[in-house]
Structure 1
Amino acid sequence: MTDHEIIEEAIRLVREGVSVTLPVNGHSMLPFIIGGKESVVLQKPDKLKVGDVVLAWVDNSRYVVHRIILFDGRNVILMGDGNLVGTERCTLQDVKAVATHVVGANEQMHDLYTPWRCRAARLWWHLRPIRRYLLAILRRLNIKD
């Protein structure tokens, strides 16, 4: 089974109301989700809002797990926490699931939307001008783990 087929099956289950845990790859959600080491728990999206981490079909070509940064009419603008400038755009229908928790390699589950994590995510957004340096440090630390 390909990665695309696995994601499609996860989306089918989420649509039926089943929570699905899906591993993530890459560094695009650092520091809040560590690709290759953590997974996200996905659920059926209800009322989406800015700050939600979602699984979405973007550019009519790929799935991403990124944070909603803006609504533009029927479009949703996404950006990975670990990205410096790049954003993606999709429609509301292209948002397939919302991530509710992060699961670490030790199987410990963390809620993505605790007051502390929400404040940290807002602060991280405002640190965009210096994120390049902070991410470089985080990636070096992550490689050593």
Structure 2
Amino acid sequence: MQTEQLWLKNAQFFDEIDRMLQDGHSVTIRAKGSSMFPFIRNERDSVILQDSKDIAVGSIVLARLQNRSYVLHRVYRLEKEAIVLMGDGNLYATERCCRNEVVGVAVKIIRDGRYVDCTSRKELFKAWVWRKLLPVRRVLLFIGRRWWI
């Protein structure tokens, strides 16, 4: 069976995701890039997104940044006027966005046919530990990328 493909520009693709989430649907997207390694792996994992009403430190969110690009990163810090995001695979780089620029929140990761609940205590604890390991993350990422990729 042949699968049809539809090619869209990123802006069209993410605008449609935004619209579907606002309409109450959940959306599944394939992960691209390594900024969320080791929790989400490029081209292997998919992420199920839902609307963005519940945002907390540790949540994985899809956000539209000021330059109209989109990122799927973890909420690193909540500030009065902004949300600070950081990819799990990043060492220093953060992004800032407003709450209304968060398009959706990841609720599950699909990995090798299994569903991983991003909101479970276990996953949030692993994310908390990973955040605390930020000072040694460079070494851990080097080892992890050589071992798992």
Q: Is TM (by shorter chain) over 0.5?
A: yes
- Counterpart of 2:93 (choices 86, 95, 113) is 86
1:102 pairs with 2:112 = no
1:133 pairs with 2:136 = no
- Counterpart of 2:148 (choices 133, 142, 145) is 142
> Larger C-alpha radius of gyration, 1 or 2?
2
Question: What is the SS of the residue equivalent to 1:34?
Answer: coil
Q: Distance in 1 between matches of 2:104 and 2:17?
A: 9
Partner in structure 2 of residue 118 of structure 1: 124
Displacement after TM superposition at 1:35 (Å): 1.7
Gaps of 5+ in 1: none
Q: Distance in 2 between matches of 1:60 and 1:72?
A: 20
Q: Distance in 2 between matches of 1:14 and 1:35?
A: 23
Which amino acid in 1 is paired with 2:118?
L
Partner in structure 2 of residue 61 of structure 1: 68
Gaps of 5+ in 2: 1-7
Question: What is the SS of the residue equivalent to 1:119?
Answer: helix
Aligned length: 142
Partner in structure 2 of residue 2 of structure 1: 9
1:42 pairs with 2:49 = yes
1:80-125 Cα shifts (integer Å, max 9, x gaps): 1110011000111110100000012x33211112211111111100
Partner in structure 2 of residue 21 of structure 1: 28
Displacement after TM superposition at 1:59 (Å): 3.6
Which amino acid in 2 is paired with 1:120?
K
Which amino acid in 2 is paired with 1:27?
S
Q: Distance in 2 between matches of 1:97 and 1:9?
A: 12
Q: Distance in 1 between matches of 2:126 and 2:146?
A: 21
Scaled by the length of structure 2, the TM-score of the pair is 0.90
Q: Distance in 1 between matches of 2:80 and 2:89?
A: 25
